[in-house]
Structures are given as structure tokens and as C-alpha cells.
Amino acid sequence: MSILDTSDIRILEALQDDGRLTNQALADQAGMSTSPSWRKVRKLEEDGVIQGYRATLDRKAIGLGVLAFVRIKIDSHSEAEADQFAVELMSLDEVITCYSIAGDADFLLQVVSHDLDTYAD
């Protein structure tokens, strides 16, 4: 992958703000014409700089009123067991993100729940 130039960065900033921009609107925001803008987006996708486009959900609108960050310490620190633990955690619907961290805990989880009662369960 090559180094990003100024127009690449403008395209990426615009797409991070609104991933549904039309090619014309994106080109306008990046200060380019549509064809070069489209080619740059395709190149950024092919190079893996742009890895996808996603919808950002309002968790409260879908009934998930609680967002919590949970730190977990595990007894075993073998890489295989830690990897298996992370896989099992990510199979839980409530766990939306799992990070392996350094310090007094081993994992940091981002967890959602309908309310505090269901979180406690």
C-alpha cells in the first residue's frame, strides 16, 4: 500500500462522516472530479484501507438501554486458552467488543443489555 495523499485523506474523512455519500457529493467534498474520486475510493477499498461500510445503530432505539465496560481477569494465561475464552465471550449476544489488554485485567468487554436487571443476570 502506498502512502495516503491529501485527497485520500479528504475522501476518508468524508466517508467516515457519511458512508452513504454519492460519488458526486464525495468528489465535491474532496475537491476533485467524480472519476478520479471514484478511482481513489476503489483503490482504497482494494488496498484494504476502507474495509467496509456499516450502519451505526442507536442502541436505545433498539431496546438496549445499558452499555457497560467490564474488565475480566483470567487464571490461565496460555495463548490458546485466552483465545478460546475470547471466542466464547464473543458468542454471547450481549458482548459487542472484546479487547485483550495489559495491566491488572486481561480483557475489556463492551456489553449491552436491555436494563440493569438483565445485565445482572
Domain limits, the chain: 6-46, 59-120
Q: For residues 36-42, give the mean pLDDT.
A: 97
**Residues paired with 98 in a beta bridge:** 109
What's the pLDDT band for 1 if we cut at 50, 70, 90? low
**Residues paired with 109 in a beta bridge:** 70, 98
**pLDDT recorded at residue 86:** 82
**pLDDT recorded at residue 90:** 85
CATH class in words for 59-120: alpha beta
Backbone angles phi, psi at 109, to 5 degrees: -110, 145
How many helices (H) and strands (E) the chain has is answered by 5, 3
Q: 71-92: per-residue pLDDT in tens?
A: 999 887 788 888 888 888 889 9
- C-alpha distance from residue 62 to each of 46, 57, 58, 112, 114 (Å): 34, 8, 7, 11, 9
* Third-level CATH fold of 6-46: Arc Repressor Mutant, subunit A (1.10.10)
